[in-house]
Amino acid sequence: MRRCRGLVLAGMVAGVLPFASVAQAFPAELESHRATYRMGLSTARSGSGMANAGGVWTYQFNNTCDGWVTEFRLAITYSYSEGGQVETTTDFLGWESKDGLRYRFRVRQIRDGQVVEEVEGTAKLNGRGQGGTARFTRPEAHVVRLPKGTLFPTAHTINLLALAERGGLSLTRPLFDGQGDEGPFETSARIGRVVATPPSPPAVASSPLLNSPAWPMRMAFFPTGSHDPLPEFEMSLTYHANGVAQDIEQIFRTFSLRGQLESIESLPRPHC
């Protein structure tokens, strides 16, 4: 199944901190929130056949007592230069323990109203910085080994933000999010210079969730074991210190989609 990356993240350079120090340096508590992004076609290469694309990305992150829960729906309609269009929807639900060692996931892909793929399973790491296993129950039962240093999505975000706060420049780690039954991706993230108060779209300019420092980041995703110098997929975004993302762009090999933050709201904190 072709993976459709959600929010869930070209090699190491000088300035990267050792993993042990990054993992312990958690940033400010990640904020529970619900956000909507208006998606549209940003670029299309000649010969891609892509005439237009547009849709909505709804995203929800909950900081619960025992873990982090991430839900999103990405609904995009693609229009092609030779005529016709395709409606696609990706539904994702994931739970991650706060020690970053346990993970549950469920993904459903819909094309023109028909379910074309469902992926479901659990994953566990043997310890921080160690490897582990992912056990899929759908589309068929099988086990995938997770290499040493694998991160789950929220742990990956936490490490990125901790590194950014310390002035780090990049992070390269295996990332497993369950969006596909092949296993983890090798990810390479580059971190830009901090922006004290990045400009916000007018519709959400007054949100206190955006009143914090932020870092522009660009992440590249490579299939494990691939020798292709080009990533399968890239994502650029601006991450606030509280985990809120804006200025999103999904970059595929022949086209890219840009998302503008359209609405955002805080969600209640748990009473643990």
Which residues 6+ apart lie within 8 Å of 15 measured at CB?
167, 168, 169, 170
Range scoring the smallest mean pLDDT among 105-109, 138-142, 168-172, 181-185 = 181-185
**What's the burial of 159, exposed, middle or buried (CB within 10 Å: 0-12/13-18/19+)?**
buried
- pTM for the model stands at 0.87
- Residues across the chain: 272
pLDDT band at 269, cuts 50/70/90? Answer: confident
Grouping H, G, I as helix, E, B as strand and the rest as coil, residue 226 is coil
At residue 22, what are phi and psi to the nearest 5 degrees? -65, -45
In the predicted structure, residue 139 carries a pLDDT above the cut 70: yes
Q: Can you tell me whether residue 21 is helix, strand or coil?
A: helix
Contact 234, 217 (CB under 8 A): no
The Cα 183–Cα 3 span in angstroms is: 11
Q: Tell me what pLDDT residue 17 has.
A: 31
Res. 256: pLDDT tops 50: yes
| Strand extents, DSSP E, 147-211 | 170-175, 185-191
Phi/psi at 45 (5° precision)? -75, 150
pLDDT tens column, 196-238:
888 888 888 889 999 989 999 999 999 888 888 889 999 999 9
CB 54 within 8 A of CB 87: no
